Amino acid sequence: MTTDLVLRNAVAAAVMAPSSHNTQPWRFRIAGDALELHADPKRQLLVIDRDCRQLVESCGCALMNARVAIRAMGHEEHLTVIPPGPDLPVHLATVRLGAAREPTALDRELMHAIPRRGTNRRSFLARPVPEPVIDELRALTTREGAELARLDPGQKAALATLVEEADTRQFSSGMFREELMSWLSPPGSRRRDGIPFEEKEYGSPRAFALAKIMRSPMLGELFGTLEESLVRGSPAVVVLGTERDDPAAWLACGQALEVVLLHATAQGLAASFLNQVLELADLRTRVAKLVPEVGYPQMILRIGVPAEPIHRVSPRRDFRDVLDA
Ligand SMILES: Cc1cc2nc3c(=O)[nH]c(=O)nc-3n(C[C@H](O)[C@H](O)[C@H](O)COP(=O)(O)O)c2cc1C
């Protein structure tokens, strides 16, 4: 396989990564034997992600997929992260293709999981997530420069209350509802980004009822109550965090997040995100106090065996649309 083909394949793997509201806020450039990852600030969520934290984390997820793909295609990969400055760098990282090497079992496992991973916003079976699996997720997280902690039942109950509060407060904001609405796509849409209506569970099976309901601030209470019970009923809730809170830490955490999601997928597990709590500064501080061992909380996940099989409906832009010459 030529260098160019390996790197193009890596971009095709990268675009399957998760991103907040499925904004896919990334661009790639191939320069010789190197693949550059750039943020796409035009895709920033200005209401819920003013500092671009989630945008950079999403780019970190894509970067991890590219690195996994390069390794699985039988090459070493050498990562350079652009050092943080006062402004958010647009060019976030470069991965250079290294010497040929045999992929490890882990490389193959993670690669195989890339197209099978999907967010599960619905419930999980009441089947425990074994502690050794959580230990593996913790080790993978640490390797990328982040921390992972599993919440005990008391912490889970406290977090469930914060989730309920976050939903109620966010949905009472017209700006929040407008931004979310602009990233939801109706059935049959040809849009290649955003979240399909049917993926969001608002307690109503009728997708189009959502458009009407979205104008109501009461949705926060409805959705909050629903999510609160999902948190309490989840077999595992984990928080990922970092020692620092800057773009380099967000990029590291995004990579840790994706490796956690891929390894979980390989174990027959799936995850759902509870980021709303971290989008409100005062609630994020309360999470930091609840789980001090992770440092700055960056990501909250429910993990378990999905009650229904994951049906992947979340669209993606073609990799050629995000690859600059
Ligand atoms: C940084 C980040 C934050 C996210 N936050 C949320 C969230 O708060 N709520 C949610 O339901 N999904 C969240 N997601 C999941 C995305 O909506 C999801 O990845 C995207 O719609 C693509 O779907 P897929 O993961 O099934 O491929 C987040 C994903 C990332 C990477």
Q: Which residue has the tokens 């099989």?
A: 309
Are the beta carbons of 271 and 264 closer than 8 angstroms? yes
| Strand 26-31 relative to strand 323-324, pairing | parallel
Nearest atom within ligand 1 for CA of residue 118? 26
Ligand 1 centroid–CA 19 distance in Å is 5
pLDDT in tens, the chain (325 residues): 999 999 999 999 999 999 999 999 999 999 999 999 999 999 999 999 999 999 999 999 999 999 999 999 999 999 999 876 667 779 999 999 999 999 999 999 999 999 999 999 888 999 999 999 999 999 999 999 999 999 999 999 999 999 999 999 998 999 999 999 899 888 788 999 999 877 665 444 454 455 555 656 666 766 777 777 778 788 999 999 999 999 999 999 999 999 999 999 999 999 999 999 999 999 999 999 999 999 999 999 999 999 888 877 799 999 999 999 7
Whose CA is closest to 304, among 200, 230, 223? 230
Residue 61 alpha carbon, nearest atom of ligand 1: 31
Pocket residue to mutate for ligand 1, from 275, 303, 312, most atoms within 8 A of Cβ: 275
* pLDDT computed for residue 311 by the predictor: 73
Domains (range + CATH), the chain: 3-118 (3.40.109.10), 147-304 (3.40.109.10)
Ligand 1 centroid to residue 2 C-alpha, Å: 33
Distance, in Å, from the CA atom of 254 to the CA atom of 146, rounded to the nearest integer, reads 9
The predicted structure's pLDDT at residue 229: 77
* Residue 83 CA, ligand 1 centroid: distance in Å: 26
User: How confident is the model at residue 202, as a pLDDT?
Assistant: 47
**If you measure from the C-alpha of residue 100 to the centroid of ligand 1, how many angstroms do you get, rounded to a whole number?**
34
CA-CA distance, 241 to 147, in Å (whole number)? 5
* Ligand 1 atom at minimal distance to the Cα of residue 314: 23
Report residue 26 CA to chain centroid gap: 13
Q: Which two tokens stand for residue 174?
A: 């017209």
Query: What sign does the dihedral 69-72-73-79 (CA atoms) show?
Result: positive
Ligand 1 atom 28, closest CA:
20
The amino acid that residue 228 corresponds to is E
The set of protein residues with a Cβ atom below 6 angstroms from ligand 1 is 18-22, 54, 57-58, 61, 118-119, 121, 195, 273, 275-276, 314
Q: How far is CA 57 from the centre of its chain?
A: 7
Q: Which atom of ligand 1 is nearest to the CA of 121?
A: 11
Which are the contacts of 98, defined by CB distance < 8 A and separation ≥ 6?
75, 76, 77, 78
What's the 4 CA to ligand 1 centre distance in angstroms?
Answer: 30
Q: State the burial class of residue 319 (Cβ atoms within 10 Å of its Cβ: 0-12, 13-18, 19+).
A: middle
Angle, vertex CA 286, rays to CA 225 and CA 155, nearest 5:
65
Residue nearest to atom 18 of ligand 1 (CA): 18
